[in-house]
Amino acid sequence: MLTKDRLDAARSPLRSLRALRRAERRLGLITARYLVDAVAGRGERGDGGMRRSRLMH
């Protein structure tokens, strides 16, 4: 979906997050942010796991 709209999640995460939520209204803010971060390649640790969100602490 982001590719179709020519959005790069790494360069414009907020715009990507908004487009993703507009396309899929059921996505919550935290879920959409997680997906955008995963697509952008951010948040991955050396062991392959994702870092915990600050909101989850």
- Structure confidence at residue 14 (pLDDT): 86
Give the C-alpha separation, 54 to 23, whole Å: 26
Which of 8, 7, 13 lies closest to 33 in space, CA to CA?
13
Instruction: Tell me how long the chain is.
Output: 57
- Structure confidence at residue 51 (pLDDT): 63
pTM (2 d.p.): 0.65
pLDDT tens profile 2-56: 666 677 878 888 888 889 999 999 999 999 999 899 888 886 554 455 566 666 6
| Three-state SS at 44 | strand
Tokens 């997680």 sit at which residue?
34
Give the C-alpha separation, 29 to 53, whole Å: 12
- Structure confidence at residue 41 (pLDDT): 86
